Structure formats: C-alpha cells, structure tokens
Structure 1
Amino acid sequence: MANGIRAVAGVRMKPRSTNQVHSLSLRRPTMAADEPIPVFTNLTELYGSLGTSLNHAERWNNLTDEFEKRFGKKPTYIVRAPGRVNLIGEHIDYALFGVLPAAIERDILIACAPREIVPNSPVDEQHHAPGSVVAENLHPKYTRQVFAPTQTKTSTEDVHVEGWHLDIPKELRWENYVKAGYYGVLTEHFTGASDHPTPVDMLVTGTVPAGSGLSSSAAMVVSSTLTFLAMNGKLEPGAEKVTKGDLVKLSMENEKRVGVNSGGMDQAASVISVPSSMLYITFYPSLTASPTPLPTGAVLVCAHSLKVSDKALTAERGYNLRVVETLVGARVLARALGVALGPKEKITFREVVGRYAGEVDVGRGGRGMDEGALMEVLGRMGEAVEALKPKSQTSGTPHPEFGVTMEEMVSMSGMEKEEFEEVYMSWIKVDATHFKLYKRAKHVFSEALRVLQLRKLCLENASANNPDTNTAALLELGRLMNDSQTSCAQDFECSCAELDELTQIARDAGAYGSRLTGAGWGGCTVSLVPEDKVGEFIEKVARAYEPYRGLEGEALSEVLFATRPSVGACVYKF
C-alpha cells in the first residue's frame, strides 16, 4: 500500500505548472470546451482533421493489425491525443499570464477492446480480476503490464463510502500514466458498490519524442483517460455528456497522480485545439482557452536539440529556482507599487498587475481586464520592474546579473526571515547564492506582452484576409519569436548553448523566427518556416547542426519535423 495512491500528495515540481501557486478551475467562455469529445466512425473524416502528416492510414492500420495479432481480436476503438508545441509564452504560466500553444500532428495512439473473463476463472491471476487491464506498447523497450483496481470501503456511523485503490508508484514510467488515467475515470465515474469497470486490452504507440518539451506525458495521460472513458461507455449516445473541458480537468488531476504537478496548458492544448490555430490559454482568474488562427503560408518545424535536461536533477538550480525568483519578485514589486497584499500572501505577477490597474470583480465571477487594457498595463511594467534592481547596484555601473543574496531578498520582501522561509522556501528546494529577481521579472512582463501582441496580430490578420498583410504578419510573428528566445536566454536564462545554436541555424536557414519551446535547458526548438521552403529548410538545418550529422530517414524525422497546428484528442470507433 505504500506505493499505492488514494489521494494526490507529494507531487514533484514539473515545468508548465500553475497549481504550485493556485488551484484553478476550468471556466468555459467559449463553445470549444463545452463541445463533446469527437467520436469518428469514418476514417476519411478523421484523417481530414489531422492536418498534413503522412502515412496516417498505414500507421493506424499497422496498429490495428498488431493488436489483432497480440489479442486475437480487432480493436473496438483507437484513441488519439496529440503532443503540443508552445509557440510563445515561456515560463509565464506560473505567473498566471496567458500562453499560445498548439497541438502538433505527432501523437499517442491507443488501440483497445474489452476482454471477456470466462466465468470461474482463477481470480488470483491478475488478468482475470474484475476491471483488469493488459497494457502493451509497440516500442520493444516497454514490457507488457497487467494490473487491476481494487475497491475499498470506508464506513462510519453515518457514512459509507466506496472507493478505489490502484498501485501507482511516483515514477515517470509509461504504464503509470495509463494507471493514472484509469484511476481518474474510476473515481469520477464508478462511485457505487455495484459499478464495475470493463476489463480492457490495450496497445500503445506514439510519435511524440519523450523528454523533448512537446508534452508526451500529457498526451499519454489524455489518451489513457479517454481510452477508459470510451471503453466504459461514457462517450456513447445517451451517456452523461463528457465535454472537452471535462477531459482537460480530469487529465490535469490524473497527471498529478504520477507525481507531476500540471497547470492545464498541456492538457488543454492536447484536447481543445483545432486545426490551423494556436490555443490562447489564460490562467487568471480561471483557466480558459480560445483559438487563435495562425497566418497561412507557414508551418512549424520542431527540432530536438538532443540536449536532455533531467528536470528532476536540475530543478533546484533551474525550474524550481525560477519559480521562487518569480514569486518573490512579485511580492517585492507589489510593495514598490503600493499594491495591497496579505502578510503571508504568495502573490503572482498577474495579480500584481490586476491590483495595480484597479481590476474589479475578480474572484466573484468577473473575467478581469480585457486584452487591450492588459497590454497597456504591461507596457508600463518595464519601468516598474526597475524597483527590483538591488539598491547597491542602482548607482554607478550596475552589475549585469542584478543578483541579490538570500538576506537581501528577505529584506526586500518586507517579511521576517521565519515568515519568508515558511511562505517561499518550505515547499520547494532551490540551490543558489544569488537570486535574480529583476531579470526574471523583466522576462515575464515582456513575454506576457509578446503573447498578447502575437495574438492581436493573428486575429487582425485573419479578419483582413489580405496576402500582403499576411506576409507582414509572418515577419512580425518571427520577430516576436526571436525576441522571446533572446529574453529566455539572457533574462530568464533557461536556454542553453545547443538551443541558442539551433535557433540561430534555423534563422540562417530561412525561418521567420525560431525559439526554444518547453521549459528549456535542453529539449526542442520551434521555428516558423515558409510553407514552400520546408524541405530546403530541413536539409539546411540537418547539415548545419553537428548532432544531426549521420542521421537519415526515420532517425532524422524523429528529431526534425514539420507540423501544422492539429486537431485535439479524438476517438475512432470501429
């Protein structure tokens, strides 16, 4: 039971999180989150929604044939969930500013079918247990997994509660994402003593590179969750409606069960995205999502730097440290601007901006200031963040790093040392002698403004429907992406030599713009490339980036590939 899970606790830090700061609900201001999960019965219709990827039919047919070979029957469903690329808006979600990701064509596919358990089968064999799962993976390095949930009962004099138990070690292994998806469906949809889930056979395959910053983990959790919803009749006509928004919320909770604290961006992009559009996702005052059309004439090219950053090992000097610097910076800025805050409140930069601007009704169902007003306030923050420069460096020639010691940071916060450690240091481990509050704030505010500028540009371009303005829009989008990369590298310091080199190579090869995507310190870049130059662009990058030398065919396409914004998660029913 020590490795099992009954409640969400002890989650470790992971990039893209906002729940480290706030518990967010998914509000639905647009129709997108209220739509049902798409269930296709026609492959032509489904393929038409998946964009420009090649060999869809071959890949799906191979998965179907392999499932039949292994399990002796055809699958009932194939479930699909895409990875995502963040076009712009890096490391600002936990400051509660909006981001612009898009679903990519690379995805996780799960073929599945119910498994009949013959009466009087030995229940001590796990694959004969009620609700048991036999999970296999097409990749040979992943072994067959067999597991089954067990019902638990908690009784008092007045309350009798039926629950579920499923062993989910806090390890980032593929089968634990499957278990997490299953556990969430059990606890959400099987609440009575007489409710019994369907035994399932499943076969998993995926094309989202693991550990690349393209959210393979979110795609795995979304597809697993959706598999168990489909297999248990929750998407059938007449069943209680499961919307895209419901799937996002459930997948967010499910990913926590693997030990990943997720804020919703990755899941929302994987579920709610529509073809040819980015998804503008905001986190304040609640999580919302709305499409933003990408100008025509360009595609996205993802390039893996082949530099792997083990977030679990480097978080204390990387991601976790940035979270602390960002949160403390928000408190220091609030004090400098005269913004009211509680004695132990862990305020975010987005909340500082709102209070500074006199934002009303937030927390009582209000939607907060509109995008134009937010852009205006963000434009004034460049001067305001000067207050975060260390006092000892404001006169004469300031040190370019603008770092402060722990003692200086505590003093700037206006808190007693014990209070400061309780609020900012007790829940997270960091490793630093100096904290760069000014540089982190400078990135957050400039990046948040770039997101809004890029979105405004795309919306205006879509309404203009003019080839000349479309080209100008692509050039401006590229500039914003390049500025984002510069800010990530110089102010937030989340880039690395490999990402810096790869983005420069991409620009030299003809990209409108190129930047890192994901947390950084390794992983992928994303480049905006003219549609008619994609082949030439990929050849140039492959020749120029030394780690790609010798890679050809499928090996090269695994790390360097074009994609369009893709449709979100869906189900194909045979």
Structure 2
Amino acid sequence: MPAQTVATAFQRHFGYAAPLLVRAPGRINLIGEHTDYNLGYVLPAAIDKEIYFAVGLNSGSEIRLVSHDLNDCCTVAVDQLHRTDTQWANYLLGVAAQLQKRGVVLAGFDCVFGGNVPVGAGMSSSAAVECGLAFALDQLLGTHIDKMTLAHVAQKAEHEYAGVMCGLMDQFASLFGRDGQVVRLDCRSLAYAYFPFDTDACRLVLCNSGVKHSLADSEYNKRRQECERGVQLLQQHYPDVKSLRDATLQQLEQHQAEFDEVTYRRCRYVVQENQRVLDACEALQRRDLAAVGRLMHASHAGLRDEYEVSCPELDALEEAARGLPGVYGARMMGGGFGGCTLNLVAPAHVEAFIQTVGQAYQRRFGRPLETYQTSIVAGVSEAEIGELPVVNKTAPAPEDCA
C-alpha cells in the first residue's frame, strides 16, 4: 500500500490540510513463540509488510476512522469511547481509550489506514494497526510518550478492546525494529539486544498456509490459562517461580506426577523454547545459520506436539521444507492454528524452494501456495508524502466509504 494512496484517500474523505503520515511494520518472529506472555524471551524483527496511516486532528469531538482496504468507516464520540461491533475499529478505539486512561486529553481526530500486511498470516497486522495509531496520536498531541510505554498502550488495547490476552512481543517488534537486525526481548525485565541478520545472505521466505486464524476465537487464551495453572502448581514448591520464565526443566520433571499431562506438556514447551531463543542468539553471533535452522525445526516440533497450536497445513509446509537444498530451517510462526511458516533459505535456492514446496502443497491440499519474500526494516516512523491536491469535501458519514 503506497503511502501516497492512503494520504490521497484521507484528502478525499476529509478534505483538509495534509495529515501526518505514519508507517507501521508487521513482524516475523525468528524463534520464541508463546513465550512472551510467560515473561520469557522472544526474537522478532520488523518487516517490509507495512500499514500506512494518515491521521489529522479535526477540531471536533469525534473519532472518524476509515479502513481503506475494507472500504468501511466507523465514527465514535471522543467522550463516549466504547467497543463496537466493527471489529477492525476496536483495535484503533482501544488505543485511544488507553491513552485516555493514562490522562491524555484526546481531541477529535480523523484516520485513514491501509497496507499490505496479510491478515491472519501471523505477521501481526493487529499490532501494526495499534502501534501506528499510538505513534501518530503521540506525535499530533505532543504527549512525548516513550516507545516502551506506547507498546504497552497498544498491548492493553488488544486485551481490552479486541479480547486477545497477547504478550508484548508484537507491539514491541513493530515499534523497536531496526533495519537488518533481529531483537531479543526479555519480556520480564524488558531489556533488549539486537543481533545482525543479513537478509541478502539468507532470505526470509514466508509460506502462507491459507488457513485464516483469529486469536480471539482460537485457543490462544486457553493456552495462557494452562501456563498459569502450571505456575500455580510449581509455586507450591518454589515460591520464587512467578512465571514459567522462572521455571527449569528439572523442577518440572521432579514434580511431573502432580501435573495433568496437558499442563505438563505446555509448560515443558515454554521452558525449552526460552532456551532455544538464547541458543539462537549465540548461533547468530557465530553466523551459524545451520544451527539457527535446527533450533527452528525443534521449535516447530514443540509447537506441534507439546503446545498443540499447529495444524496439518503448517506441518506439511515445515515437512516439505526440511532437507531441501539451501534451506537452513523452517517452523510455523505466530499464535498458531493457521498462518505462515517462516523459512530461512539461501538466496540461490529461493526460486527452487518456492516451486518445490508450492507443488507439494498443491498436490496435498488442492490449492496454490502463496509465498512472500521479506526484508527486515526499521520500526514505526513518520513517512514522507508529496504535495497533495486541495479537496473541498465535508467529512463522510460512517457509511460513506466510496
């Protein structure tokens, strides 16, 4: 979605001076899935699948939102913010509500947004939507909120308005991404460190299963509850265990008999996945992509067998990639139950990889495989726009999205 397209749509809808334009990237997560809400480690990066926002203060008392991609609108009074039946709007309204809770005096504003982050593919389009608007409002209102606080604002918006009890990783990655680097976040201390990842030397190829997942409707929240149950069991013996981040495999194994089978497997996966993130960072520092790839395959196995958030399509894609020439590693990415696999592929083998895996997927599931090659980019920022024509048009009614 070119920035100019969104800016032009803003002028067409609202007809006043050039808005602030913001770009907000989606993300990949190299490794470390479902560890963030367990206060563990994650290793994400911002990518060049992005959402653009045109936002302006309207000197009124209404929030007027336009989804350019969906050709849909939503209008809510600033002093009557609430969840609506328009699900896409709730991500944006939730951000405004969280800013209000932090004492920010909101003005009426207009927003048009659209982009090319595939929805339901595990690249966190929702976090990009939240973080882009949070950044834009901070700029327009001059509130000077630090980026980590903006990440928490966006996360709380998803909790309270979208109904998904997500961890902080997606919002953090969208805001803190750095060009050409993955970033390890300690979700307990919020300390972070960058590690180089040259996407010219090793391409990131995403294979979209075509299975649309919605975390709010999936078992995401159930997995979080299962982890919390495991922590409660461990705390009876180890009061210092406040989250699975504090637990060890030895502790789990010593008290396995006290766990039901499902809870034990969930906890075991999280503890092992945290260690895989640390091992992957060491491998990146050694530039050992083969070691990173082996950890990715192990991560997928854990997500499939112990955390049980994969699906047949994702498993088939990971299996088809394993052992192909030039493929270092593959795993499902995101919350699960659909979305994409992430594949590390040597540049010379990308074309053959896409063809081979695509043919295997077509044979097994009878539908074409959509793939994306992506690069690692910087996090949320202002975007440049050229001069726009002056348009005289009154603000649209909510149903006026032509």
For the criterion TM > 0.5, the same-fold answer is yes
Post-superposition offset of 1:494: 1.9
Letter in 1 for 2:355: E
Partner of 2:382: 571
User: What SS class does the counterpart of residue 322 from structure 2 fall into?
Assistant: helix
How many residues were matched structurally? 381
Percent same amino acid among aligned pairs? 29
Partner of 2:88: 174
- Please tell me the root mean square deviation across aligned C-alpha atoms, in Å: 2.7
Q: How does 1:9-24 map to 2 (within 5 A)?
A: none
Contact 1:333 1:387 in 2 (8 A): no
Partner of 2:182: 278
| Inter-CA distance 490–569: structure 2 relative to 1 (3 Å threshold) | same
- Distance, in Å, in 1 between the alignment partners of 2:110 and 2:225 is 44
Partner of 1:540: 356
Letter in 2 for 1:566: V
Letter in 1 for 2:253: E
| Inter-CA distance 74–543: structure 2 relative to 1 (3 Å threshold) | farther
Post-superposition offset of 1:517: 0.8
The answer to whether the aligner puts 1:69 opposite 2:21 as a matched pair is no
Partner of 1:339: 238
1:249 to 122, 140, 152: 152
| Inter-CA distance 314–250: structure 2 relative to 1 (3 Å threshold) | closer
The answer to whether the aligner puts 1:524 opposite 2:343 as a matched pair is no
Partner of 1:60: 3
Post-superposition offset of 1:79: 1.0
| Inter-CA distance 351–172: structure 2 relative to 1 (3 Å threshold) | farther
Q: How does 1:117-128 map to 2 (within 5 A)?
A: none
- Distance, in Å, in 2 between the alignment partners of 1:300 and 1:179 is 33
The answer to whether the aligner puts 1:490 opposite 2:305 as a matched pair is yes
Post-superposition offset of 1:515: 0.3
Q: How does 1:202-213 map to 2 (within 5 A)?
A: 202-213=111-122
Q: How does 1:383-462 map to 2 (within 5 A)?
A: 383-390=250-257, 412=258, 435-459=261-285, 461=286
Post-superposition offset of 1:82: 1.1
The answer to whether the aligner puts 1:108 opposite 2:51 as a matched pair is yes
User: What SS class does the counterpart of residue 18 from structure 2 fall into?
Assistant: coil
In structure 1, stretches of 5+ residues that fail to align are 1-55, 118-129, 151-164, 235-239, 354-380, 391-411, 414-433, 462-469
Partner of 2:397: none
- Distance, in Å, in 1 between the alignment partners of 2:7 and 2:39 is 42
The answer to whether the aligner puts 1:145 opposite 2:86 as a matched pair is no
| Inter-CA distance 550–515: structure 2 relative to 1 (3 Å threshold) | closer
Letter in 2 for 1:349: L
The answer to whether the aligner puts 1:266 opposite 2:144 as a matched pair is no
Partner of 1:90: 33
Letter in 2 for 1:567: A
User: What SS class does the counterpart of residue 41 from structure 2 fall into?
Assistant: coil
Q: Deviations for 1:394-420, whole angstroms, at most 9, x for unmatched residues?
A: xxxxxxxxxxxxxxxxxx37xxxxxxx
User: What SS class does the counterpart of residue 266 from structure 2 fall into?
Assistant: helix
Partner of 1:515: 331
Partner of 1:81: 24
Letter in 1 for 2:92: V
- Distance, in Å, in 2 between the alignment partners of 1:561 and 1:222 is 23
In structure 2, stretches of 5+ residues that fail to align are 386-402
Partner of 1:419: none
User: What SS class does the counterpart of residue 444 from structure 1 fall into?
Assistant: helix
- Distance, in Å, in 2 between the alignment partners of 1:516 and 1:145 is 34
TM-score for the superposition, normalised by structure 2? 0.85
- Distance, in Å, in 2 between the alignment partners of 1:494 and 1:271 is 26
- Distance, in Å, in 2 between the alignment partners of 1:245 and 1:324 is 25
Post-superposition offset of 1:310: 4.3
Partner of 1:479: 294
- Distance, in Å, in 2 between the alignment partners of 1:458 and 1:74 is 47
Contact 1:135 1:202 in 2 (8 A): yes
Moved over 6 A (4+): 547-550
- Distance, in Å, in 2 between the alignment partners of 1:281 and 1:187 is 26
TM-score for the superposition, normalised by structure 1? 0.61
- Distance, in Å, in 2 between the alignment partners of 1:524 and 1:229 is 32
| Inter-CA distance 500–114: structure 2 relative to 1 (3 Å threshold) | same
| Inter-CA distance 103–312: structure 2 relative to 1 (3 Å threshold) | same
Q: Deviations for 1:348-382, whole angstroms, at most 9, x for unmatched residues?
A: 222345xxxxxxxxxxxxxxxxxxxxxxxxxxx3x
